[in-house]
Amino acid sequence: MRRRTFGRAAGAVALAALVAGCGIRTTSVPVDAGAAPSRVPCATAGDGTTGAAVGGVPVRVFLVCGSQLETVDRRSPLPEGKADADPVRTARLLLTQLLAAPSEGERRAGFTTAVRGPLAVKGGHRGDPVGTLRLSRQPEDLTPVALSQVVCSFAESSAGAGDRTVLLGGPGPYAPKRYRCTTELRERPESAPPTAPPPTASASGPVPGSSPAAPTG
């Protein structure tokens, strides 16, 4: 019995000396490493096309991957040069991409989308600030992650209002809000998108693709 105890003690001393010799610091505090974290690449090898013509317009949307928002490059079937000239058309193009199911390559890379239909976008009401976009549902009625996807995809494109913001409202008479796509929002899309005061309403009438304001009384 003593020989076994002595042998185990000697083995432990030798192991400690070996660890110290390798430059690994030992600790007397128990460490619970837990399960290994799951990792996804969050990158696609292809062009992100989701059944669209290869010769379409390149677009970039924000999808969910690893609990964060990551950009995905796709191509839309809209002819080249048609999107950037019209912010409303750009917004519709982006929204179509957000509503589309991720391609097989995107799914393998870990991408998903929280944006669900029915959902449409058009220009602002009469009297809205220039550049306003109106969703067919109130922005606050979308899930936080879905709204974060929409805000960042619009704000980072020609549909945005500049400075990584987008003027966004719903179908009702409520004033639009200026939503910001920040680094913090991309890292935590489940949080509410931050807002800033919108500019003064336009007195020049509705923007292209707009509809008359809903009656208030």
Binned average pLDDT, 10 residues per bin, the chain of 217 residues: 48 42 37 42 60 64 95 76 73 94 93 96 94 96 97 94 93 94 96 82 45 44
* Helix H or strand E segment including 123: strand 121-123
- Alpha-carbon distance of 73 to 60, in angstroms, equals 5
CA 175 to mean position of chain CA atoms: 24
Q: Are 122 and 87 in contact (CB under 8 A)?
A: no
55 phi and psi angles, rounded to 5 deg: -85, 10
Rounded Cα gap, residues 58 and 75, in angstroms:
4
Name the amino acid, one letter, at 166.
V
Predicted local distance difference test score (pLDDT) of residue 135: 97
Strand 133-135 relative to strand 177-180: parallel, antiparallel, unpaired? unpaired
The residues facing 180 across adjacent strands are: 165
pTM of the prediction? 0.69
Q: Which two tokens stand for residue 30?
A: 């128990």
The Cβ of residue 68 has, within 10 Å, a number of other Cβ atoms equal to 16
How far, in Å, CA of 88 to CA of 167, rounded?
Answer: 12
Residue 201 burial by Cβ neighbours in a 10 Å radius (0-12, 13-18, 19+) = middle
What is the identity of the amino acid at 44? Answer: T
Burial of residue 82 (number of CB atoms within 10 Å: 0-12, 13-18, 19+): middle
